[in-house]
Amino acid sequence: MNTTELIRSRRSVRSFDGAAPDKELLDDILRYAASVETPDSLPIEWRVLDAKAQKLSCPVITGTDSYIAGKLRREMHAEEAFGFAFERVVLYAVSKGLGTTWIAGTLDRPAFERAMELGEGEVMPCVSPLGRPAAKMSLRESMMRKGVKADSRLPFEELFFCGGFDTPLTPDKAGDVKEALEMVRLAPSAVNKQPWRAVVCGDTVHFYEKQGKGFVAANGWDIQKVDVGIALCHFVCAMEERGRKTVFTLADPSLPHPADTVYIASIQIG
């Protein structure tokens, strides 16, 4: 499967078949994770954890004890960097037939952070279970999906704009970036809020975060910036698949924007 097919086929999996994934496969995923570059080259340390042996609990997940988690230094752009890198790892795991779910909230966080040996100034933004999807979703899983309308996404023209926020971009006018923006649209996000917005200006796409209420922690950590990192990952993967080069820039174009929307990063297409 190519990356756009993986993005289209991925969904959060919370019910697994009970069989432990092969150790070689988990080692392979760890090796892949270690090779993933983040836009700012922020280093991330990855570990595979065993929930049974390490006494970790993640109440929404059934049928697997294997988890992957990453930790990095809490600094500027750490959220986007983590989102970008972990989504690459997620898509790689999906390509190997495994199910995954981004988990930031519904876990025994202190236990996972102990297992990750989280140091001063470090953050473990999210974890994901790894395992073979069960043949049938648990009732809890289907109810959770309904609760966040996990199978639907906002329309293209509500998320993407041409030249400025006052001109919605429709798929038929999106030309070269249509498929990549569609991949952004399909990305997973915390409680399916889809906080990414993008303005296409010539060969550059400026990405923004539409900030929802209650997503920024007291220490400033903003989980929705992780979501925008996932969106950037999908955009870059889709452009790479079309043989196009992408260059990250932090060059706020100072476009007028809605009050709840903040600039994150730009991608120039080569």
Name the minimum Å distance from CB 191 to ligand FMN: 6
Residue closer to ligand FMN, measured from CB, 181 or 200: 181
Please check whether residue 129 is in contact with residue 50, taking contact to mean a CB–CB distance below 8 angstroms: no
Name the minimum Å distance from CB 193 to ligand FMN: 9
Cα separation, 22 vs 110, in Å, equals: 27
Name the minimum Å distance from CB 10 to ligand FMN: 7
Residue nearest to ligand FMN (CB): 188
| Chain residues that interact with ligand FMN, rule: CB under 6 A | 11-12, 60, 101-106, 126, 144, 148, 150, 188-192, 223, 226-227, 230
Q: Is the dihedral of CA 21, 233, 259, 152 positive or negative?
A: negative
Residue closer to ligand FMN, measured from CB, 138 or 204: 138
CA 254 to chain centre: 26
Please check whether residue 88 is in contact with residue 46, taking contact to mean a CB–CB distance below 8 angstroms: no
Cα separation, 216 vs 76, in Å, equals: 14
Residue closer to ligand FMN, measured from CB, 10 or 200: 10
What element of type H or E holds 178?
Answer: helix 178-185
Residue closer to ligand FMN, measured from CB, 7 or 29: 7
Name the minimum Å distance from CB 214 to ligand FMN: 14
